[in-house]
């Protein structure tokens, strides 16, 4: 059986079109956006800053943040509510931003991973993730941290089991769960 390595895999994928970048459906639309000709202007406070953003009515909050607001710290994993990579806080509550439309949040207060640090200092949970080695590839990390912040705000940190249960919607394919729970527990205790 021929050896398959990354180079041969990518080469084969390009040959069948699997990793060829496809242009947006309509010029001017970002990834995940489709121009229906119906757009709205939403006014939000994002990380303490008032923003007015024009979006197609079918744009998810996640795509608006990444493609219109330039905040790419919030990650797109599954785009269907199954991984938690896109977790942010809306009016203090954590949500999967891929599952909701931007136009539904006019007037909302939004916090993303970019808004956690204060005066050049990391949020205590961001620091705890570093101290506890709570990530490997880092792709899930912004969602894990935002979910952890929400979990602490909600007071759902009574035990490692409770933290695990409350953050069960945040998947880490690298399996850093033990250190993630430790980071959240330590921050909640501090």
* 64 is a contact residue toward ligand FES (CB under 6 A): no
140-159 residues in contact with ligand FES (CB under 6 A) are: 140-141
Tokens standing for residue 13: 């994928």
Nearer to ligand FES by Cβ, of 24 and 169: the residue is 169
For ligand FES, the closer of residues 41 and 178 by Cβ is: 178
Residue 114 engages ligand FES in binding (rule: CB under 6 A): no
Closer residue to ligand FES, CB minimum distance, 76 or 123: 76
Chain-centroid distance of CA 10 in Å reads 27
> In the window 4-63, what residues touch ligand FES (CB under 6 A)?
none
* Inter-CA distances, 10 with 64, 77, 87, Å: 30, 20, 30
* Whether the Cβ atoms of residue 60 and residue 32 lie closer than 8 Å to each other: yes
Sheet holding 87-90, edge to edge: 49-56, 39-46, 109-111, 87-90, 93-96
If binding is defined by CB under 6 A, does position 130 make contact with ligand FES? Answer: no
Closer Cβ to ligand FES, 152 or 176, answer by number: 176
Instruction: Select the span of 1-9, 36-44, 63-71, 169-177 touching ligand FES (CB under 6 A).
Output: 169-177
From the list 25, 47, 22, 46, the residue with the least C-alpha distance to 34 is 25
Short-list 125, 132, 127, 128, CA closest to 111 = 125
Q: With binding defined as CB under 6 A, does residue 135 bind ligand FES?
A: yes
Q: What is the distance between the terminal CA atoms of the chain, rounded to a whole angstrom? A: 55
Taking CB under 6 A as the binding criterion, the range among 7-15, 17-25, 75-83, 102-110 that sits at the site for ligand FES is: 75-83
Q: Which residues bind ligand FES (CB under 6 A)?
A: 76-79, 81-86, 96, 98, 135-141, 172-174, 176
């Amino acid at each position: 059986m021929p050896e398959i390595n990354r180079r041969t895999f990518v080469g084969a994928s390009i040959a069948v079109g699997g990793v060829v970048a496809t242009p947006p459906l309509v010029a001017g639309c970002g990834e995940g956006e489709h121009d229906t000709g119906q757009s709205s202007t939403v006014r939000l406070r994002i990380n303490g800053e008032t923003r007015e953003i024009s979006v197609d009515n079918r744009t998810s909050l996640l795509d608006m943040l990444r493609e219109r607001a330039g905040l790419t710290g919030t990650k797109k994993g599954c785009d269907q509510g199954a991984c938690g990579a896109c977790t942010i806080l809306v009016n203090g509550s954590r949500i999967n931003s891929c599952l909701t439309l931007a136009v539904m949040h006019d007037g909302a207060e939004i916090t993303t991973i970019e808004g956690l640090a204060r005066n050049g200092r990391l949020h205590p949970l961001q620091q705890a993730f570093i101290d506890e080695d709570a990530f490997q590839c880092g792709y899930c990390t912004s969602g894990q941290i935002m979910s952890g912040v929400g979990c602490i705000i909600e007071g759902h940190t009574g035990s490692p089991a409770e933290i695990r249960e409350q953050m069960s919607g945040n998947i880490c394919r690298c399996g850093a769960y033990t250190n993630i729970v430790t980071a959240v527990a330590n921050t909640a205790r501090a």
